[in-house]
Amino acid sequence: MNVNKKYQEKLVTIPEAVSKVKSNQKVVIAMAASEPQGLLHELENRSDELENVNIVSCLMMGDYNFLKPEMKGTFLNETWFYGPADRENHKHGNVTYIPNNLHEAGMKKLENDNLNIFWGTATPMDENGYFSLSLGLTYEKMMVENKNTMVVLEINENLPWTLGDTQVHISQVDHIVENTVPLIEVPPIEPGEEEKKIGEYVAEMIEDGSTLQLGIGGIPNAIAHSLRNKKDLGIHTEMFTDGMVELFKEGVITNQKKTLWKGKMVGTFAMGTKKLYDFIDTNLAVEFQQGNVTNDPYIIGQNHKMVSVNTALQVDLTGQVCSEAIANKHYSGTGGQVDTHRGAQRSEGGKGIIALRSSAKNGEISTIVAELPAGSKITLGRNDIDYVVTEYGAAHLKGKSIRERVDAMIGIAHPDFRDELREKADKLKLW
């Protein structure tokens, strides 16, 4: 096969690729920093010709015109995880959430829905006809391999070539467009004093030789900073972040004590800054695997001393965790929280940790509540909970009675709300 000839045969302009979309179809796009910016920006130009087109996404980072209020009825974003613009566009009726656990999201969608087109991003092709899917492998490879889906790749010369299961051959692609644009970057959030204290508590719980799953935000950044005196840590995560780069360069992350993929950091997507993207480019110490692998609780549980750290919006006194919505106002999504929290507890010496500040809105409200507000979505049930950490300490709830849990949770609540929580616990006869 002459791969360069095949490439030219499949190369089209962005408008030509978007013209393949028909009314009543579903178009799956690559997630987060992998999203095809050129194709998505072009979509609004088809608004007069189309109706009832669903874009299936996950953590969409751009604010695209095809989801503006006037586009209602033409385009709908079905998403596994709300991005920054989705919370606003939801008000217009242009966004809807797909309940899921990350490790099975792609397969469930393929098995139970009719998906017509996949839009992904990839590096330029090598001399053997292969592309790298680069920053995202959560469900993207699965969509490429689905025989009933038209595959369109947006080639961006700025994307890093990543290793693992990221390779796709020209023969698997229907159309190619070229669009070299700056990569989507998310600067690290500088942790505040509360986050730093949480980071210290969590770091105390992580033993040398542990394998970690960390997310993004002020709390995970604070945890990463507090881990600098640890030894031989490993990474088995859903998301690669900037904080992991620093720990690797300082010799804290060696991956030498890992049970699986020894010597390698393993994850399913990356989102951060150019520092992260440069680090993972052709880095033999970094391997991408599909989300149904990295986030399978059974696989996670095979890691020795696996520690999963996730954040939440609210936790009630019995250990029910709400991480994706504030009452009926949807905020983010389940993502891999349930996957990794359960998986870590399958591990010998493992821990599942939920970390959050004890208050919100400048101390006006408690995030530790006697009962979750009406309409709240339970991300992690109390049957699955292990540890909850705030800036006031760690509550170990696994195997504990409701009475013991209430006492432990009040102990890590903000002092300004503890008396109120005790009174509410009495009224609810929780102890």
Scored b (16 or more CB within 10 A) or e, 244-266 reads bbbbbeeebbbbebbbbbeebbb
* DSSP alpha helix (H) spans, 250-381: 274-280, 291-294, 297-300, 337-346
The Cα–Cα gap between 88 and 278 comes to: 32
Query: In 3D, which of 52, 53, 107 has the Cα closest to residue 80?
Result: 107
Q: Where are the beta strands (DSSP E) in 356-411?
A: 359-360, 365-366, 368-369, 387-390, 393-396
Asked if residues 58 and 102 have their Cβ atoms less than 8 Å apart, the reply is no
CB 391 within 8 A of CB 401: no
Is 9 annotated in the active site? Answer: no
Q: What's the sign of the alpha-carbon dihedral 44, 50, 51, 54?
A: negative
Q: Of the residues 44, 194, 195, 238, which is catalytic?
A: 238
| Closest C-alpha among 341, 367, 364, 372 to residue 356 | 367
**Nearest by Cα to 223 from 346, 351, 364:** 351
Instruction: List residues with catalytic annotation.
Output: 238
